[in-house]
Amino acid sequence: MKTTAIDPTWAWLPYRASEEQPWNRGRAAHLLRRAGFGATSQEIDAAVEKGPEEIVADLVSPRLDAAFELESDAFAKTILASGDPKNLSAWWSYVMLRTPHPLLEKTTLFWHGHFATSAAKVEDAETMYNQNRLFRQFALGDFGKLTHAISRDPAMLTYLDSITNRKAHPNENYARELMELFCLGEGNYSENDIQELARCFTGWEIRRGKFRFNQFQHDPGMKSVLGHSGPLPEGKSIDVVLDQPAAPQFIVSKLIRYFMFDEPAASDELVEPLANELREHEWDISHVVRRMLTSQLFYSEHVIGRKVRSPVDLVVGLLRTLEGSTNAYQLGDDLNQLGQGLFYPPNVKGWDGGRAWINSSTLLGRANVIGRIIRDENTRFASGNLNEYFNRLDANSAPAIVDKLLELTLAVQPPQTVKEQLVEVINRNGDRSERIAEAIHALSTIPEFQVM
């Protein structure tokens, strides 16, 4: 690991291709992995032509694709008709696999992990689905508005017990997590702030599936939250929280971890310039995400290969890279087995990510899931099998197939001996597609495959 401190001034300068950091297929693939879920060989070619500025500009302002919206809504309807929130993961896996707006979807997933709400407690598919739409609506938009909206979102109100928060003796759950996990971070408020903020949220209820303010259960008295005194009605208290200097710092530092690197934690000095910009741009998330994805830092060794792949990055990433399609219900189950059950985050802190994705069970699981998916009879690669797919990419010999596979799937190349063993696997007797499947299965177990 590079332990040298990152210079913040250098870090956030716009990336310019240079001899040391050329704009090439490797960096284009890196961008498309991080800003989405991996890219096909043709998409990488196209990206090399365009350059990072133009690609990122397109990604942060997705144009509505009516045909895909229809397709997605129709599938959602079928799922909601079943009433079981467990099936929602099939719908979202499908959307991630097929979306024309990968960054929008990836950022929606970020907010799901940030404002983590689990269907295990909410127990209603439609409520969870509506929350997911809210995340997508604001994913690359105004974080302040999103925070106000989520505070009135029925799934969140249920998950953090706001619906039973009454003036007689307030329930502190939502007030605590709003400051600790959603806006400020632990240590940036006092226990007294929590108790006062909880009073502000008394009477925030659900009626007939929608938010309702119940003035009879609301405590209208004076409160003192984070140094601001007053009755703090409606969303006023949320503004008090959002106005804290710690808020943009907290959000930018989580976005850096999500889009750039897992460890070490970004220094305050590195976070500060973008935190200031986020404030100046009135909580516009697309601004800071664009700044990250077009920065010097993003295309440097501090970032490339420095994130552990989440189960979504791993599985959806491999399928999108090889134009794979498969059974979405099974895919949703697979993600759950690997520790990323969509709509079922482990707790209100969401997924920790980084090394926390990795243990012996999830590593064996990763190999088993990849091995199963690539051999599944429902899985197709651009409507064909793996041998046909690599033929289309002009990779016919075993070494050519391995080179292509490693180039497309890995941010960090493995030692030569690993390549040689994979070539050996493909050269064994038997069906060529099955041999390639076995090579991918074996590849999925190496350390380099778990990072991006």
Partner 1 sequence: MRSNRREFLKTTLGTSAVVSLGATVPGFLRAAAVASTDDKETILVVVQLSGGNDGLNTVVPFSDPAYRGSRPKLAIPASDVLKINDALGFHPSARGFADLLEDNSLAIVQGVGYDNPNRSHFESMDIWHTCQRKSDTRTTGWLGRYLDASQANRSGVSLAFHLGHEKQPFALTAEDVRVPSISSLEGFRLNDSGDKEVRSTISKLASSARQESDSILDFLQSTTTVALSASQRVEEASRDYKTPIDYPESDLATKLKTVAQLIDAGLGTRVYYVTLDGFDTHSQQPAAHAVLLSQLGGAVSSFIKDIKHQGHGDRVAVLAFSEFGRRVEENASEGTDHGAAAPMFLAGNKVRAGVIGDHPSLTDLEDGDLKFHTDFRQVYATVLESWLGWPSKSVLDGSYDPVDAFEA
Contact residues: partner 1, CB under 8 A: 1, 160-161, 164-173, 176, 180-181, 186-187, 191, 262-263, 306, 308, 337, 339, 346-349, 352, 355-365, 367-368, 371-372, 375, 412, 414-415, 417-418, 421, 424-425, 428, 438, 441-443, 445-448, 450-451
- In the bound state with partner 1, the residue whose beta carbon lies nearer, of 144 and 332, is 332
In the bound complex, what is the minimum distance in angstroms from residue 26's beta carbon to partner 1? Answer: 17
In the bound complex, what is the minimum distance in angstroms from residue 157's beta carbon to partner 1? Answer: 12
Contact 322, 389 (CB under 8 A): yes
- In the bound state with partner 1, the residue whose beta carbon lies nearer, of 57 and 412, is 412
In the bound complex, what is the minimum distance in angstroms from residue 349's beta carbon to partner 1? Answer: 6
Q: Is the peptide bond before 248 cis (omega within 30 degrees of 0)?
A: no
Task: Kindly calculate the radius of gyration of the chain based on its CA atoms and give it in whole angstroms.
Answer: 23
Give the residue from 267, 260, 263 showing the smallest Cα distance to 356.
263
In the bound complex, what is the minimum distance in angstroms from residue 137's beta carbon to partner 1? Answer: 28
Q: Which two tokens stand for residue 75?
A: 């599938």
- In the bound state with partner 1, the residue whose beta carbon lies nearer, of 19 and 191, is 191
Please spell the DSSP secondary structure of 271-324, one letter per residue.
HHHHHHHHHHTTTBHHHHHHHHHTBTGGGSTTTTT-SBPPHHHHHHHHHHHTTE
Q: Please list, in sequence order, all residues whose beta carbon lies within 8 angstroms of the beta carbon of residue 380, skipping any fewer than 6 positions away.
A: 324, 325, 326
Contact 284, 145 (CB under 8 A): no
Contact 335, 311 (CB under 8 A): yes
In the bound complex, what is the minimum distance in angstroms from residue 439's beta carbon to partner 1? Answer: 9
Neighbours of 448 (CB within 10 A): 17
- In the bound state with partner 1, the residue whose beta carbon lies nearer, of 288 and 338, is 338
- In the bound state with partner 1, the residue whose beta carbon lies nearer, of 137 and 164, is 164
- In the bound state with partner 1, the residue whose beta carbon lies nearer, of 173 and 294, is 173
In the bound complex, what is the minimum distance in angstroms from residue 359's beta carbon to partner 1? Answer: 4
End-to-end CA, the chain? 15
